[in-house]
Structure 1
Amino acid sequence: MKKIGILFGMERSFPKAFVEAVNEMNVDGITAEPVQVDVVQQAIGTDYAVIIDRISQDVPFYRAYLKNAAAAGTAVINNPFWWSADEKFINNSIAISVGVPVPKTVLLPSFARPDDTTDASFSNLAFPLSWQNIFDYLGFPVFMKPHAGGGWKSVFKVHNVDEFFNAYHQTGQLVMMAQEAIEFEEYYRIYCIGRKYVRIMPYEPRNPHHLRYVSDKHPSAEMEKLLTDYVLRLNNALGYDFNTVEFAVRDGIPYAIDFCNPAPDADVHSVGEENFRWVVEHAAKYAVERAQAHRDGQMNLTWGDFVKRSVTESELPASEASKKTSKSGSSRSKSSKKTT
């Protein structure tokens, strides 16, 4: 019997419905249940073939548990090693490399020094930064947000230099991004499961949380095709098998705003009944696919093209790697021009 587990925190509607959906599929030799964690011993695996991770971003103990499980052969969705390594700023760079538009963005050092550092720890950092160059590049208004994390925590929209520094002074030790504000005509939040199942949801981030999926905007057939293409490019590059991507559409161009959501909201009360049914059905379907593909005694994780390409090219002689990267970049550029 191959077991599929779901690891979760305070949420209730999705985990319960997911377990029921898998078990109602009546796939021979496969069952689902909430994960039970007891003693975690090094290099000892779990009895789960697949685990859906919904909580380790908030519980470091769970993240370590999942890495240990993955190293012993469990297919963890999403890959806990990559999830530990990525953040929003590098994701933007990866998006650019695969031809997906993103807002102009600058990384900012934390306003307050990290613990156990002094002024001498920053010998390589210019002081003051070339602030005017930053403002000229981004323009106003600007969003300031943590370079890692989510949930609209510590996010500021600022309209001038005074507001910028007032917000910056409130961010403490957070490493922040300053990002061009995309004044959009349409906005979409898009589920992507298994890097193949895609659901485009009209979304209005300016509404109260419980009303954000209430929107009268709907993509044209051409826009739907472009959004789907961009979502698949991003998730294939990043290696996420359960993610949401948010796009703000300005002048017909969809800009990827937020696409580091490996445990996205799936509560029936916020996403709505129709979206909820879709995500439960496709999460269950994909988890069963991964359980069927699971092989004992080997690694069962998936990795994104960014990591796989980096590993492959690092093993090539420098001259060959340079040629391959140049050719790949040229192909992506042509593809981007074609789709936009």
Structure 2
Amino acid sequence: MSKIKESRKIGILHREEGPMPDRLIEEINKKAIEGIRAEICKIPEIHPAESCEYTIIIDRASHCLPFLREYVKNALLSGCYIINNPYRFEPDKFFDYTVAKRMGINLPRTVLLPTKSYRVEPCYRPIEQEDLLNLSYPLKWDEIASYIGFPAVIKPALGVGWKHLTIVNNLEELIRAYDRSGHQIMILQEKIEYEHFVRTFVLGKKYVCPIKYIPSRRDYICDHKHLSRELGKYIVETSIKLCKTLDYDMNIVEWAIRDGIPYAIDFTDLVPDANPRSITYFYYEWFIEHMTKVALEYALHPPKPRCWHTLNNLIGKVSDNP
């Protein structure tokens, strides 16, 4: 790492999540690179267009605290680089599935369903039947079920952490789960009956760690030979490609492997669990080491301003993948 003349601060936004934030700050500062220092962000009131004291902010909290979301948006406009981009910091699963499909990546069969009901904000009138003229009702449940097949998974399009996810085994269970979904936009997806499941950390769009994972137990397994050379290469390269295209600097890509074929199940875990009690101390140390590298590399050589030029090549492209 080289020296720099001006001071460049790295700020951490976080909630209570175990030892990781303090340890990350400690490791960054232990490198003792002249002009670079990491600290916990402390934020008072925000003024429009005010400058930001940080060169880099690692954001692990604004998805839960709307005030912080406004702070990082303002910081972005002042030239601060935010991990992750606040304008992409949404669990926008269906959009990401669409991008992945156009990239030719294997996905489970997937459809997006209109909401069962509609939230009424206090300042708006209730949604009436006449307001839904653009929607095609009733849904053709038999056709949808025939396309997706059973068992299937129904889950919120904007959900995180497997919340409100339901496995359905027949049409009756599907309609019952849909009726319970309320105002949430739901995704219905083929359930891949996998023989192997992989959670893949991707940091800085280049550091990758594919981990054997047991979803039913939420267990990370320390097994460094769980993938063949060919499959491991595909998962690493494709996970990087996804995160570069979607502009995610800190993410997890989940793969379900069936009959030797990897399917991308989810790739919008933008605040990956980094607590050693859940991800094991081995992978915790990997996360700390590589998140430290990303923070310092970005502070020394701040990435160019955000743009989605990578998406331009996908517009209008129809994937050959069925």
TM-score (ref. length: structure 2): 0.91
Matched, 1:153 2:163: yes
1:304 deviation in Å?
A: 4.5
Match of 2:176 in 1: 166
Offset, 1:41: 0.7
Classify 1:264/1:25 alpha carbon distance in 2 versus 1 (closer, same or farther; 3 Å). same
How many angstroms apart in 2 are the aligned matches of 1:244 and 1:302? Answer: 21
Does 2:293 align with 1:285? yes
Of 198, 215, 222 in structure 2, the residue corresponding to residue 188 of structure 1 is: 198
2:95 counterpart residue number = 90
Shift of 1:94: 0.4
- Which has a greater percent of helix? 1
Which residue does the alignment assign to 1:322?
none
Q: Is 1:64 paired with 2:92?
A: no
For 1:242, the equivalent position in structure 2 comes to 250
Counterparts of 1:236 and 1:302, CA distance in 2: 11
Q: Match for 1:158: what amino acid?
A: V
Judged with a 3 Å threshold, the aligned counterparts in structure 2 of structure 1 residues 11 and 188 are, in CA distance, closer, same or farther, namely same
Equivalent position amino acid for 1:277 in 2: E
Give 2:271's aligned residue. 263
Moved more, 106-115 or 88-97: 106-115
Q: Return the letter of the residue paired with 1:110.
A: T
Rounded to whole Å, the distance in 2 between the matches of 1:226 and 1:305 is 24
Contact 2:11 2:57 in 1 (8 A): yes
Aligned residues: 310
2:142, 2:30 → 1: CA distance? 60
Return the offset for 1:147: 0.3
Cα shift readout 1:52-91 (whole Å, capped 9, x = no counterpart):
010111111111110010011110001101224x600010
Q: 2:37 is matched with which residue?
A: 31
Q: Which residue of 2 aligns with 1:253?
A: 261
**Structure 1 equivalent of residue 220 of structure 2:** 213
1:303 Cα deviation (Å)? 4.0
Contact kept? 1:193, 1:241, Cα under 8 Å = yes
**Separation of aligned partners in 2, 1:112 and 1:215:** 44
The answer to whether the Cα contact below 8 Å between 2:14 and 2:59 also exists between their aligned partners in 1 is yes
Contact 1:146 1:176 survives alignment (8 Å):
yes
Which consecutive aligned stretches of 4+ in structure 1 deviate over 2 angstroms post-superposition?
Answer: 214-217, 300-310
Determine the structure 1 residue equivalent to 2:15: 9
Task: Give the aligned partner of residue 197 of structure 1.
Answer: 207
Match for residue 144 of structure 1 among 143, 154, 162: 154
Structure 1 residues not aligned, in runs of 5+: 314-324
2:71, 2:99 → 1: CA distance? Answer: 28
Distance 1:305 1:77, change over 3 A: same
**Partner amino acid, structure 1, of 2:259:** D
Q: Measure, in 1, the Cα distance between the counterparts of 2:253 and 2:308.
A: 16
Deviations 1:220-274 (A, max 9, x none): 1111001012101211110101100000000111111110011111111100111
